[in-house]
Amino acid sequence: MAVAGMPEHFEGLPENVVVSRLDELGSWCRKNSLWPMPFATACCGIELMATGASRHDLARFGAEVFRFSPRQCDLMIVAGRVVMKMLPVLQRIWQQMPEPKWCISMGACASTGGVFDTYSVVQGIDRFVPVDMYVPGCPPRPEQLIQAIIDLQDKIQREGTLDGREFLSAQQQMTKRALIELPILGQGFSQP
């Protein structure tokens, strides 16, 4: 059966054969088997748990296997505020996750620091780790988190490549807005 746009040498294939690109096939597998790493540091973590529980049932979207070892995960969900002492831990966990990996910043605190504009709270984790999806809210409802995961799945399907080329694109490497605006001070601040 001839399909429009199909190269000639595919003609005559049985109907149960689907032709695709390897990148797309890989992304399709990846997007439907996200294994989240729950980095829940505060109240948003409760909504994250609710998302995984039976009522909202994250399993419907293939992302219910929460693992507490970063080695087994490919999606970090940061749910809650991150303080100075926690950020190195977060970065270490992010580095321990095998590629390809994605990150969702869940809630106002993880994305911007929220109302905690104080000396010890990191004002948005996107200043120090790459973030793919931001979920607004305080806390976001489980539906919002599920929407973020669906959107992330779309993104993976759209731009995913088998060897992770998309992660190296100039846009992905761009420094975040916040880092340009704010001064980064050295160790020189004064000792009272």
Partner 1 sequence: MTEEHTTGEQTTEPEQKVFEQIAAQFPGLAVSAFRGQTRVVVSRDELITLMQTLRDEYSFDMLVDVTCVDYLNYRGAEDRFHVVYQLAGTDSGLRLTVCLPLNEPDLNAPSMTALWSGANWMEREVWDMFGIRFEGHPDLRRILLPDAFEAHPLRKDYPLQGRGERHNFEVLRRGEG
Q: In the bound complex, what is the minimum distance in angstroms from residue 103's beta carbon to ligand SF4?
A: 16
Q: How many CA atoms lie within 13 A of 88 on its CB side?
A: 2
Among the candidate windows 29-37, 50-58, 84-92, 106-114, which touches ligand SF4 by CB under 6 A?
106-114
Is residue 32 involved in binding partner 1 (CB under 8 A)?
A: no
Alpha-carbon separation of residue 11 from 1, 4, 15, 49, 92 (angstroms): 6, 11, 10, 50, 51
Supply 21's token pair.
Answer: 């690109």
Three-class SS state of 40:
strand
Q: Which helix (H) or strand (E) holds 133?
A: strand 133-135
The entry of partner 1, ligand SF4, none near residue 13 (CB within 5 to 8 angstroms by kind) is none
Place of tokens 């190296």: 168
Q: How many CA atoms lie within 13 A of 64 on its CB side?
A: 13
Q: Which residue among 72, 143, 168, 177 contacts partner 1 (CB under 8 A)?
A: 168
The entry of partner 1, ligand SF4, none near residue 136 (CB within 5 to 8 angstroms by kind) is none
Is residue 107 involved in binding ligand SF4 (CB under 6 A)?
A: yes
Binding site for partner 1 (CB under 8 A): 84-85, 87-88, 91, 94-95, 99, 117-123, 127-130, 164, 167-168, 172-173, 175, 179, 182-187, 189-192
